[in-house]
Amino acid sequence: MVTETFTAAAQHGHIKGTASADRHEVEDFADYLKRTGVLANSDFVAGIELVSVTQGDEQNADVAVTALVCDLAGREALAKAVEAGPVKVRKVSVAMPLHTFFGLFKRFSIKISPGGLLDGHQILIESSL
């Protein structure tokens, strides 16, 4: 068993940031994995990792998406487990087109900056295009 810190990382980490998403009401990522037989109905997705490697000008290959799955009964149980120490999860990886992944969320926001220098800091927007 290996212990990891749950944070995004790339090979060089030149650009870092945060992400936020809204679940899709019709079918979210966990629902998709259950419908396609990848996960059991009792599985809880505690985290998601997406890795994309682009060779060339376009991302037209499938992306690697990993669900961090545990046997906990929902968000409140996960919160208690996090407070108690490292959460035991298993990694379940699937490949899918990027548009399919983003289609499993109602909204998805990614904000990144050089070295993550803007994370959590206020910025003054002069104009918007």
Q: What is the pLDDT of residues 42-97, one digit of tens each?
A: 999 999 999 888 777 877 889 999 999 999 888 999 999 999 989 999 999 999 99
Tokens linked to 98: 């990027």
Give domain status of residue 79, yes or no: yes
Q: What is the pLDDT of residue 1?
A: 85
Give domain status of residue 47, yes or no: yes
Q: Which helix (H) or strand (E) holds 30?
A: helix 29-35
Give domain status of residue 59, yes or no: yes
Give domain status of residue 120, yes or no: no
CA distance 42 to 74: 10
Q: What is the pLDDT of residue 65?
A: 95
CA distance 64 to 45: 16
Give domain status of residue 5, yes or no: no
Residue 85's domain comprises: 28-98
Q: What is the pLDDT of residue 20?
A: 93
Q: What is the pLDDT of residue 60?
A: 81
Domain count, the chain: 1
Which DSSP symbol is given to 8? -
Give domain status of residue 64, yes or no: yes
Q: What is the pLDDT of residues 9-49, one digit of tens each?
A: 888 889 999 999 999 999 999 999 999 999 999 999 999 99
Give domain status of residue 75, yes or no: yes
CA distance 105 to 29: 7
Q: What is the pLDDT of residues 112-126, one digit of tens each?
A: 999 999 999 999 989
CA dihedral (104, 82, 89, 115) positive or negative: positive
